[in-house]
């Protein structure tokens, strides 16, 4: 069995991921989307390496009461909600609980849209090759919601790119994404954080700073 890679932090993970995406470098219709918060530092490194514009795509996990890390679904920008019926049936979560949790996460999603962008409009997705980046995937609920939301916006292609994810999750996502790029797919997987030395929380301020820096870099490239 291969020894798993332990990334120093999200910056190193992003650089390693970018190496596997070099085929998309300097292409005119490539857009890198980071899933906040943790996916944005990774996506920034990818965008810089590929000379591509950077934006965020916001997804919120719907956590099971008392087991918040266990997602029974997710919501994404554009009014998309994905529900994992297998987990819902196993945990016995009620419809009223699901609606309460969804409403709470919709408020947070709206807050983040405002905090990260302000008055700046999202970059256009239609006709673009979308490289959708997170710092890792566990169950895949958030990524499913993001893919389905983005698909409605008519991209040319959706590439899911992450430093680490379980091999089983990657196999399931293959039917939704056009391509999966993953640095490592360990068979033994408990949590994303086990593959990072530094997995500290990313702040809203860091996300805003990276977006501003990414935007200025892409404008300089375009000129």
DSSP states of the chain: -PPPP-BSSHHHHHHHHHHTTGGGTT-TTEEEEE-TTTHHHHHHHHHHHHT--EEE--EEEEEETTEEEEEEEEEETTTEEEE-HHHHHHHT--HHHHHHHHHHHHHHHHHHHHHHHTTPPPPP-TT-EEEEE-S--SSSHHHHHHHHHHHTT--SEEEEEEEE--HHHHHHHTTTSSEEEEEE--SS-S-GGGGBS--PPPPHHHHHHHHHHHHHHHHHHH-
The domains located in the chain, with CATH, are 10-58+123-222 (3.40.50.2020)
pTM of the model as a whole: 0.88
pLDDT profile of the chain (223 residues), mean per 10? 87 98 96 96 97 94 86 86 90 95 95 88 93 94 89 95 95 94 92 96 95 64 39
Give the contacts of 73 (CB within 8 A, at least 6 positions apart). 61, 62, 81, 82, 83, 84, 87, 88, 98, 141, 145
Strand pairing partners for 161? 133, 181
Burial class of residue 18 (count of CB atoms within 10 Å of its CB; 0-12, 13-18, 19+):
buried
User: Nearest CA to 220 among 65, 53, 96?
Assistant: 53
Dist. CA 30–CA 196, nearest whole Å: 28
Q: CA gyration radius for the chain?
A: 17
Strand pairing partners for 158? 130
How would you classify residue 206: left for phi > 0, otherwise alpha for psi between -120 and 50, otherwise beta?
Answer: alpha
pLDDT at 89: 94
């Amino acid at each position: 069995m291969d020894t798993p890679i332990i990334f120093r932090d999200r910056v190193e993970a992003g650089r390693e991921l970018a190496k596997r995406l070099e085929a998309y470098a300097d292409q005119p219709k490539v857009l890198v989307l980071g899933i906040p918060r943790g996916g944005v530092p990774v996506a920034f490194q990818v965008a810089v390496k590929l000379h591509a514009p950077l934006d965020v795509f916001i997804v919120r996990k719907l956590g099971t009461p008392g087991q918040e890390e266990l997602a029974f679904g997710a919501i994404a920008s554009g009014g998309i909600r994905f529900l994992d019926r297998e987990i819902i049936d196993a945990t016995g979560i009620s419809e009223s609980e699901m609606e309460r949790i969804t409403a709470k996460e919709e408020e947070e999603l709206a807050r983040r849209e405002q905090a990260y962008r302000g008055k700046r409009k999202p970059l256009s997705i239609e006709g673009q090759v979308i490289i959708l980046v997170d710092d890792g995937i566990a169950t895949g609920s958030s990524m499913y919601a993001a893919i389905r939301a983005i698909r409605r916006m008519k991209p040319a292609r959706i590439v899911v790119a992450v430093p680490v994810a379980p091999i089983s999750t990657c196999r399931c996502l293959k039917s939704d994404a056009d391509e999966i790029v993953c640095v490592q797919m360990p068979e033994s997987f408990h949590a994303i954080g086990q593959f990072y030395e530094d997995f500290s929380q990313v702040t809203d301020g860091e996300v805003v700073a990276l977006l501003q820096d990414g935007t200025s870099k892409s404008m300089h490239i375009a000129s």
